Each structure stands twice: as structure tokens, then as C-alpha cells.
Amino acid sequence: MSEPAPSEWRDDIFAAMKAADIRQVGYVPDAGHTRLIQRCQGEPGMTAVSLTSEEEGIALAAGAWLGGQRAALLMQSSGVGNCINMLSLAKSCRFPLTMLITMRGEWGEFNPWQVPMGSKTQAALELMDVLVYRVDDADMAGETVTAALDIAFNGSLATAVLLSQRLIGAKRWVK
Amino acid sequence: MNTAEHNRPRSNDPRLDRRAAIRTLLEKRGDLLVVTGLGSTTYDAASVGDDDRNFYLWGAMGAAAVIGLGLAIARPDRRIVVVTGDGELLMGLGGLATVGVQQPPNLAIVAFDNGRYAETGMQASHTDAGVSLCGVARACGIDTVLDIGSDTALKELAAWLHDFKRTLFARVAIHADEPPRVLPPRDGVLLKTRFRRALGAE
């Protein structure tokens, strides 16, 4: 696989994470997060933790905070469904949490199986009292992630940033 | 023929008393940081004496090992001991694989295995039918895997908790009984904040 093309908004997100002193990054791979995951893996000050399921990330972030480090999570929208009960950990203890979520099941989606969870991602997060921001415009990515991280760590809140499928670009039906 | 019965490991016996076992492990805890799984292991840890450096789970089933992982990465200068039950661990088996990939040298996971879901009425868990937690831990690449079934081995484990240098997993075979509950605080914000204060993180 060739290097992903330069993609400035993903670098803006990475810069926002670094500026917020994020030290642990839990992720379940997603094509839309490829470059960001690579940047986190390549950053000596960050530990990138590959997860088998997104809910592990909620636990990882809690453990990091107990030890005095800040964590962020990267996942795609289908993974939000895997997190629902585990979000009770963040809510019961008021752990700061920021989930950066690449959207599937939206504009240009080729796989209808992504639609049920993708169309309910925001509602599911809000049912668990996660504060949800959404990015449709590349210029807004960095500052939106900064805002989500700031309120999470300053207010001990769970936050999520939905990176829309229009922003990421639709996945090709035929490879 | 009952295959599950046929395959049931005989190494499960003799089993240890859970409250005596937790006392052996934590009585001289030194500066260990402790995370417990919801249910009985939370009560077990509290029975040794409540401590600000205990983070008890009252929910989030399956989270204990990975909370320990995040804590171990954040605090490489401290040893972290996760004490949880077979049912809690079974719900988060993927977390053992994640621990196996990261291999934090300062994380120990101790599984109190009675083959039962004690909190919900002693229903059999998968380990009762022969699923091996030690086998899973080994398959996940965890460096040191111990199957503890005697007081002597338990005492060795208690000493090792202060000296291990690679990721450690220990299954402790315990009786399926329900000693009187010892209930630590349930306020999650309190548990979080006092833990962080005890580490100088708050």
C-alpha cells in the first residue's frame, strides 16, 4: 500500500492532540483515520494502542487518567455501538474522554450495512450524555478537536467529534 | 457423553479461599496500585481494608484489565495489579490480546476463578466447562502465566507482585462461595479523585 496522500486536516487534528498533551491513543483502525494513526504511532511522546474492540478504549482512557495521562480514542461510527455500556464508566466517574469518529453510513456510502449504526451514531452518543461536535468542513477539523479536548479535560466530560463522510470522502465501491 | 464434564480440568482442585487469598496478596501491598473487577473481587479487595490506591469497578464489566493497561502505560514507575473474576475477564477477552500486544512490564492481572457468576446467583461460567484463562493468556502472548492452586504458590505470587519485570497473568483457583460482602465506596467520582490524589495526579 502506498503512502496516503498529504491531508492537511488530519495533520491539524494531530497538532490539536499534541497541543492538548495527549499521551495515549487507543484506536480501532479505519481507513479514514489511517494517516492520523500513523502520525500517532510515529510520535515518541504518544503510545498508540491498537484495540480489538472500541469499548476497550473507554477503559484505556480511564486508566490513563487515573495515572495522570491524557488519552484520546480513534474509531469509526460502527464502533460507537460497541461502546455504549462502557460509557457508563466515563459517566459514573466523570472521566474526561474524547472520541474522534470517522463517519460511515452517510453521504456516498456503498455498504448498506453501515447505515443502521451510522445513522444513529450521534443519537446513541447523546443518549449516553456524550457531548457531540460534528465536522463537515476541513478548515474546522483542528479547532473542533481542540474544543472537544478542552472541554473534556477542563470539565471532566465525555466528548465526541464526528468527522463526516463527506469530509473524509466516500469509500470506493470497486477497489 | 457430556463433553464439557469430560474436558473439565482437574487442576482446579484444590481451590483456595478467596478472602484468605486476597489477604495474602494485598496484606503487605507496599506501593502497589490495585484495580478490581465489578462484583466479588471489589468486595474481596475492600475486605483487606479500603485504600485510596484501590480503584474498584462497580460496573463496566470487562474493563478491569484494560484500565490496568492504561494505568500501567501512564505510570511505568509503579506496579499495577488488576484483581478480577473469571466472568469479568471473559467479557473482555479481547483486552487480554491488547495487553499481550502492549506487554507493559509493570502490569499483573490476577484472575480469581471460581467458574461462577457469583454476583448473579452462582451460574456456571465458561471456565467451569473447561475454558482455560491461562490458555487464553498464553495465546495472547502474555509473558508470564501462572496457574495458582496452593497456598505455597499463592505466597510466591504475593512476593512476585513486588518484583515482576514482565507482564504477568495469574489464575487463582478459588472456592465457589459467597463470603459476607464488604462494600467500599460506590461514588465513582470519589474513587477516581482520591486515586489520582494518592498518585499526585490531582
Q: Which pLDDT value is given to residue A108?
A: 86
With contacts defined as CB-CB under 8 Å, which chain B residues touch A86? 60, 62-63
Of A49, A92, A93, the CB nearest to B102: A49
Is residue B167 within 8 A of residue B142, CB to CB? The reply is: yes
**How far apart (Å, rounded) are the C-alpha atoms in residues A108 and A165?**
8
* pLDDT digit string, tens, across residues B133-169: 999 999 999 999 999 999 999 999 999 999 999 999 9
**How far apart (Å, rounded) are the C-alpha atoms in residues A20 and A90?**
19
* pLDDT digit string, tens, across residues A46-76: 999 999 999 999 999 999 999 999 999 999 9
This prediction has a pTM of: 0.94
Is A51 part of the contact surface with chain B (CB cutoff 8 Å)? yes
- The alpha carbon of residue B181 and the mean position of all alpha carbons in its chain are separated, in whole angstroms, by 17
Query: How would DSSP label each residue in B88-129?
Result: HHHHTHHHHHHHHHH--TTEEEEEEE-SEEGGGT-EE-GGGG
**How far apart (Å, rounded) are the C-alpha atoms in residues B82 and B89?**
11
Give me the mean pLDDT over the B71-88 stretch: 98
With contacts defined as CB-CB under 8 Å, which chain A residues touch B102? 47, 49
The amino acid at residue A175 is K
* pLDDT digit string, tens, across residues A148-171: 999 999 999 999 999 999 999 865
Contact residues for B199 (Cβ-Cβ < 8 A; gap 6+): A66, A67, A68, B33, B53, B75, B78
* pLDDT digit string, tens, across residues B121-133: 999 999 999 999 9
What backbone torsions phi and psi does residue A90 show, to the nearest 5 degrees?
-65, -40
- Give ipTM to 2 decimals: 0.94
Cβ-based contacts under 8 A for chains A and B: 121
What backbone torsions phi and psi does residue B62 show, to the nearest 5 degrees?
100, -5
With contacts defined as CB-CB under 8 Å, which chain B residues touch A53? 94
Is A44 part of the contact surface with chain B (CB cutoff 8 Å)? no
Of A24, A62, A92, the CB nearest to B73: A24
pLDDT band at B120 (very low <50, low <70, confident <90, very high): very high
With contacts defined as CB-CB under 8 Å, which chain B residues touch A92? 58-60, 188-189
* Partner-chain contact B188 A59, CB within 8 Å: no
